[in-house]
């Protein structure tokens, strides 16, 4: 089991005990979905711990529960299920091929405050899961304790010369530490070449474990940054919508202010048409009177003077109406321009 943590005063470290501590064993059978149980225990006397279980093959395994909280001296049982279709694929592999598999689990743990635990424990399971997920996204990585477990696959009950034997796909070589590199030494001289090659392959893949989990952390950070960027764009869109609404209200207000101007303009246009009609009627009346025979020159002169006076009054009225319209138009234009 690989253990990586920060300062023991800020990380759970060895207060988290896993059982099993190194391997999760899955017994392969046809048309089955094998399970492996993992027990996690908090040995701290006064600190509450939150835990989370991650895997390098999330589509192959089902982990329930995959996160939770442990009171001092508390424990939890986790069930890890291997999907049936993946079990069928592994069942058909040779034992030497199953040795090359590099499936791993990572158990992360962190101390949490009592106030946080009290605020979460009364909620429903879904709300609790959402709160814990948000907590893990904003957790300081230096306060995490990480423990890794590997997977091994056992094919049970196969016949070999009339007796039942059990084949285990676990490492068959003992590793001796030589500084920065692991060297495998065969415990039996009768090991096949394929077993030795598989052992060396496992030792070479050990160096990639930390890199894989680091990539997972980078992916998580990238997802958080994308969510923050989308939230920022959403806020900008809301602000822009509010601004457009304010501009619409201003335009509606200006339109209401200009409505009296259009009303006056319409009335003025009606007056102009009425005066024009009166002028045409006056001209018609004058021409008809001039054509009547048998009237004296005095009466004709009087009628002409009267008609001329009417025409002048109509023309003066028309002129006054046009001037009035022009002045109103200028005033309303200035009001609409500056207000």
Do 155 and 112 contact (CB within 8 A), yes or no?
no
The 3-state DSSP class for residue 30 equals coil
Report which of 100, 104, 20 is spatially closest to residue 57, judged by C-alpha positions.
104
pLDDT at 317: 54
247 alpha carbon, distance to own chain's centre? 30
Give the chain's residues under pLDDT 50.
159-193, 195, 296
So what's the pLDDT on residue 162? 40
Q: Are strands 48-55 and 104-112 parallel, antiparallel or unpaired?
A: antiparallel
Predicted pLDDT at 8: 58
pLDDT at 320: 55
- Give residue limits of the domains in the chain: 2-169, 249-338
- For residue 324, the model assigns a pLDDT of 75
| HSE (side-chain half, CA atoms, 13 Å) at 50 | 21
Give residue 135's pLDDT.
93
Q: Which of 106, 133, 300 is nearest to 215 (CA)?
A: 106
pLDDT in tens, 236-254: 888 788 778 777 877 777 7
Pick the CATH number of 2-169 from 2.60.120.200, 3.40.50.2300, 2.60.40.10, 3.30.559.10: 2.60.40.10
Distance between CA 313 and CA 305 in Å, rounded? 12
Question: How high does pLDDT run on average in the chain?
Answer: 76
**CA separation (Å) from 196 to 202, 281, 324?**
10, 122, 110
pLDDT at 56: 94
Q: Is 148 strand, coil or helix?
A: strand
With beta carbons less than 8 A apart as the criterion, state whether 78 and 38 touch: yes
Residue 142 DSSP class: G
The pLDDT, as a whole number, for residue 167 is 45
Strands 145-160 and 23-28, by their bridges, are parallel
The confidence score (pLDDT) of residue 58 equals 94
State the pLDDT at residue 240: 81
């Amino acid at each position: 089991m690989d253990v990586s943590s920060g300062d023991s005063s800020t990380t759970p470290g060895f207060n988290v005990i896993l059982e099993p501590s190194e391997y999760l064993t899955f017994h392969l059978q046809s048309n089955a979905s094998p399970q492996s149980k993992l027990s996690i225990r908090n040995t701290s006397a006064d600190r509450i711990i939150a835990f989370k279980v991650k895997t390098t093959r999330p589509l192959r395994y089902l982990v329930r529960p995959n996160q939770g909280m442990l009171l001092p001296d508390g424990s939890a049982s986790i069930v890890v299920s291997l999907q049936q279709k993946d079990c069928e694929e592994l069942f058909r592999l040779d034992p030497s091929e199953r040795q090359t598999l590099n499936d791993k689990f990572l158990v992360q743990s962190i101390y949490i405050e009592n106030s946080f635990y009290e605020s979460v424990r009364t909620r429903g399971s879904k709300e609790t899961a959402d709160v814990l997920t948000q907590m893990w996204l904003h957790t300081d990585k230096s306060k995490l304790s990480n423990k890794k477990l590997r997977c091994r696959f056992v094919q049970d009950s196969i016949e070999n010369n009339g007796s039942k034997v059990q084949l285990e796909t676990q490492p068959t070589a003992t590793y001796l530490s030589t500084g920065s590199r692991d060297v495998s030494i065969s415990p039996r001289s009768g090991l096949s070449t394929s077993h030795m090659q598989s052992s060396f392959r496992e030792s070479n893949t050990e160096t990639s474990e930390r890199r894989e989990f680091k990539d997972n952390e980078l992916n998580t950070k990238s997802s958080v940054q994308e969510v923050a960027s989308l939230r920022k764009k959403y806020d900008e869109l809301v602000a822009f919508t509010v601004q457009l609404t304010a501009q619409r209200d201003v335009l509606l207000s200006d339109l209401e202010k200009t409505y009296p101007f259009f009303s006056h303009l319409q009335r003025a246009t009606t007056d102009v048409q009425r005066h024009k009609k009166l002028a045409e009627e006056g001209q018609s009346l004058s021409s008809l009177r001039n054509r009547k025979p048998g009237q004296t020159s005095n009466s004709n002169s009087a009628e002409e003077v009267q008609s001329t006076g009417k025409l002048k009054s109509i023309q003066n009225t028309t002129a006054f109406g046009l001037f009035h319209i022009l002045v109103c138009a200028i005033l309303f234009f200035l009001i609409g321009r500056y207000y």
